[in-house]
């Protein structure tokens, strides 16, 4: 089957978070199952292509007042996984992918409309897929256009589409007059389609118009149907619950394994853990703590700094945390208040908390390998990849039991010797502190701690099983289309708008 991935980031070409890891890795696993995958992403300033060729010189994208012309590049691709980059420098040759510290780029609606429309047009020449698989709000207009502007286009008559939610917290909200600017019909601006509290909601459009909606863990697929986690779209999802499912993300162990990681000071494995202490030394060196006692546990954090990630809990209990025998190393960047908070804490507790405000892949790998524990106290977490990477590195996760964190970490039970980490449920500083203390206590018994480390290291979260689940979803949406269900498998009685 030919599947076209449409997304705003993809490893190794562009990345701000886990979406890029998924879009870089899942296609390889699908190809291993015999599928053919095309990946469409924007060509950003940050996208470094060593060997690129132009495959399409000029794709016309209409706006209300003018036409814009994009081109499409490719790079060294295998027959099974092809990369296509939509090139339009006025929109994508910029300092960052989505915005700067001053805020999101004001023309993000135009940027990602142009991207998705160029993908639809380009696919007519490069190969119309059996299934478009779109990810997050940046590609959400594709299913909308497929079932509106392009609904009569014979090229797409049999094409199905699947939409994956990686994060409900980012929806793509724009003022109503964006619709005519993007040549989209006004009748999309109703409550049953894209209208959302007076604004146009791109993500909502995808949730209404996609044939199938997936998200990145089983638990999150349930959580987003509740008011607490649905960000106002829980009703839309509940309406189509029969075609919403959760498929857990996998890990690309070619990139994330202590047995072959090229960024770390020493390699190690469950059979021979001895290299991990060298990684710990190297980590403490890179964080300016060369004389730290190697017996003191190191708790690592690698994160985008955003409210989602739960770091406000640390600030609630940091005074008491600092009394514990532990060192915290933090790598992150993002929202200013959290950057400032961590910088302040590192000044207040210089021997306890070391911080780098940066986005740095090499250091992220060093933390995975060199820390003893990895902290993710997220308020919500659709899947979370770092805790799964941590398992492989024998770096024991301490997580809040939400979304994918809850699905991937099993609580440690010293009596049975089962479990892979530590979890807390209540979103409070007290619960966080109690769980950290529990982990620190467990760390004192190094022999059972090694059992705990190995339990995690021996887990297998590679992509194979999840890729097979996606394969089933693709089969299902194709059958539904072939069966003449029409534009969407959303309950047609509730959604008469869908063709």
**Footprint of ligand ADP (CB under 6 A):** 17-19, 21, 302-304, 331-333, 359-361, 364, 383-386
CB of 276 to ligand GLC, least distance (A): 25
Q: Which residue is nearest to ligand GLC (CB)?
A: 18
Tell me whether residue 200 or residue 216 sits nearer to ligand GLC (CB atom): 216
> Tokens 């990630």 label which residue?
309
Tell me whether residue 222 or residue 361 sits nearer to ligand ADP (CB atom): 361
Tell me whether residue 255 or residue 381 sits nearer to ligand GLC (CB atom): 381
> Residue 201 to residues 75, 187, 193: CA-CA distances in angstroms?
33, 14, 9
Tell me whether residue 167 or residue 420 sits nearer to ligand GLC (CB atom): 167
Tell me whether residue 199 or residue 361 sits nearer to ligand ADP (CB atom): 361
CA torsion sign for 90, 95, 98, 104 is negative
Given the rule CB under 6 A, which residues bind ligand GLC?
17-19, 22, 166-167, 216, 249, 381-385, 404
Q: How many helices (H) and strands (E) does the chain have?
A: 17, 20
| Partner in contact with 74, chosen from ligand GLC, ligand ADP, none, beta carbon below 5 to 8 Å by kind | none
Angle between helices 275-286 and 361-370 (to 10 degrees): 130
Exposure letters 112-124 (e unless 16+ CB within 10 A, then b): bbbbbbbbbbbbe
Q: Which residue is nearest to ligand ADP (CB)?
A: 18
CB of 301 to ligand ADP, least distance (A): 9
What are the tokens at 278?
């060298």
CB of 113 to ligand GLC, least distance (A): 22
| Partner in contact with 332, chosen from ligand ADP, ligand GLC, none, beta carbon below 5 to 8 Å by kind | ligand ADP
CB of 383 to ligand ADP, least distance (A): 6
Longest dimension (CA), the chain: 70
Phi, psi of 395 (to 5 degrees): -110, 105
What are the tokens at 58?
């000029």
CB of 309 to ligand GLC, least distance (A): 9
Q: How far is CA 106 from the centre of its chain?
A: 23
| Partner in contact with 303, chosen from ligand GLC, ligand ADP, none, beta carbon below 5 to 8 Å by kind | ligand ADP
| Partner in contact with 119, chosen from ligand GLC, ligand ADP, none, beta carbon below 5 to 8 Å by kind | none
Using an 8 Å Cβ cutoff, are 149 and 184 in contact? yes
| Partner in contact with 364, chosen from ligand GLC, ligand ADP, none, beta carbon below 5 to 8 Å by kind | ligand ADP
d(CA 23, CA 8): 9
Tell me whether residue 38 or residue 402 sits nearer to ligand ADP (CB atom): 402
Tell me whether residue 313 or residue 385 sits nearer to ligand GLC (CB atom): 385
Tell me whether residue 130 or residue 392 sits nearer to ligand GLC (CB atom): 392
CB of 385 to ligand ADP, least distance (A): 4
Using an 8 Å Cβ cutoff, are 239 and 494 in contact? yes
| Partner in contact with 216, chosen from ligand GLC, ligand ADP, none, beta carbon below 5 to 8 Å by kind | ligand GLC
Tell me whether residue 23 or residue 56 sits nearer to ligand ADP (CB atom): 23
Q: How far is CA 299 from the centre of its chain?
A: 23
CA triple 361-419-399, angle to 5 deg: 45
Tell me whether residue 84 or residue 170 sits nearer to ligand ADP (CB atom): 170
CB of 227 to ligand GLC, least distance (A): 19
The residues near 317 (Cβ < 8 Å, ≥ 6 apart) are 429, 430, 432, 433
CB of 416 to ligand GLC, least distance (A): 29
| Partner in contact with 81, chosen from ligand ADP, ligand GLC, none, beta carbon below 5 to 8 Å by kind | none
Beta bridge partners of 455: none
Q: What is the helix (H) or strand (E) element at residue 74, kind and residue range?
A: strand 67-75
What is the residue-wise DSSP string for 276-320?
Answer: HHHHHHHHHHHTT-TT--TTS-EEEEEEEESGGG-THHHHHHHHH
CB of 387 to ligand ADP, least distance (A): 7
CB of 304 to ligand ADP, least distance (A): 4
């Amino acid at each position: 089957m030919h599947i076209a991935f449409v997304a705003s980031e993809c490893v190794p070409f562009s990345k701000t978070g886990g979406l890029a890891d998924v879009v870089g890795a899942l296609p390889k696993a699908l190809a291993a199952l015999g599928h053919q995958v095309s990946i469409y992403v924007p060509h950003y300033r940050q996208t470094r292509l060593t060997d690129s060729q132009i495959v399409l010189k000029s794709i016309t994208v209409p706006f209300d007042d003018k036409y814009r012309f994009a081109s499409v590049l490719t790079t060294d691709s295998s027959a099974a996984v092809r990369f296509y980059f939509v090139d339009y420098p006025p929109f994508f040759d910029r300092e960052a992918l989505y915005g700067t510290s001053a805020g999101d780029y004001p023309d993000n609606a135009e940027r990602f409309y142009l991207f998705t429309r160029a993908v639809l047009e380009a696919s007519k020449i490069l190969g119309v897929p059996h299934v478009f698989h779109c990810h997050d709000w940046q590609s959400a207009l594709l299913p909308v256009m497929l079932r509106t502007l392009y609904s009569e286009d014979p090229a797409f008559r049999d094409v199905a589409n699947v939409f994956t939610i990686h994060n409900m917290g980012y929806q793509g909200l724009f003022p109503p007059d964006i619709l005519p600017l993007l040549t989209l019909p006004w009748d999309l601006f109703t409550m049953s389609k894209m209208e959302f509290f007076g604004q146009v909601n791109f993500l909502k459009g995808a949730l209404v118009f996609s044939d199938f909606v997936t998200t990145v863990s089983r638990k999150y697929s349930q959580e987003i149907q509740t008011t607490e986690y649905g960000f106002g779209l829980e009703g839309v999802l509940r309406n189509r619950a029969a075609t919403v499912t959760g498929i857990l993300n996998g890990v690309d162990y070619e990139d994330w394994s202590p047995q072959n990681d090229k960024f770390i000071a020493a390699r190690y494995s469950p059979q021979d853990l001895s290299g991990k202490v060298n990684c710990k030394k190297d980590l403490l060196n890179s964080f300016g703590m060369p004389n730290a006692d190697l017996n003191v546990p190191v708790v690592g954090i690698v994160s985008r700094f955003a409210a989602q990630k739960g770091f406000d809990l640390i600030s609630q209990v940091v005074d008491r945390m600092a009394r514990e025998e532990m060192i915290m190393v933090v790598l992150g960047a993002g929202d200013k208040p959290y950057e400032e908070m961590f910088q302040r804490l590192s000044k207040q507790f210089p021997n306890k908390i070391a911080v780098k405000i940066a986005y740095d892949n090499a250091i992220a790998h060093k933390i995975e390998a060199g820390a003893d524990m990895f902290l993710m106290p997220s308020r919500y977490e659709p899947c979370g990849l770092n805790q799964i990477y941590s398992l492989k590195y024998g770096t024991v996760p301490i997580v809040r039991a939400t979304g994918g964190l809850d699905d991937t970490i099993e609580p440690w039970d010293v009596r049975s010797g089962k479990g892979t980490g530590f979890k807390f449920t209540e979103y409070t500083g007290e619960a966080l502190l109690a769980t950290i203390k529990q982990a620190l206590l467990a760390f004192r018994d190094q022999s059972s701690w090694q059992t705990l480390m190995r339990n995690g290291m021996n887990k297998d979260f590679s992509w194979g099983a999840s890729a097979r689940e996606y394969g089933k979803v693709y089969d299902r949406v194709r059958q539904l289309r072939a069966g003449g269900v029409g534009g969407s498998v959303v309950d047609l009685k509730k959604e008469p708008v869908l063709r």
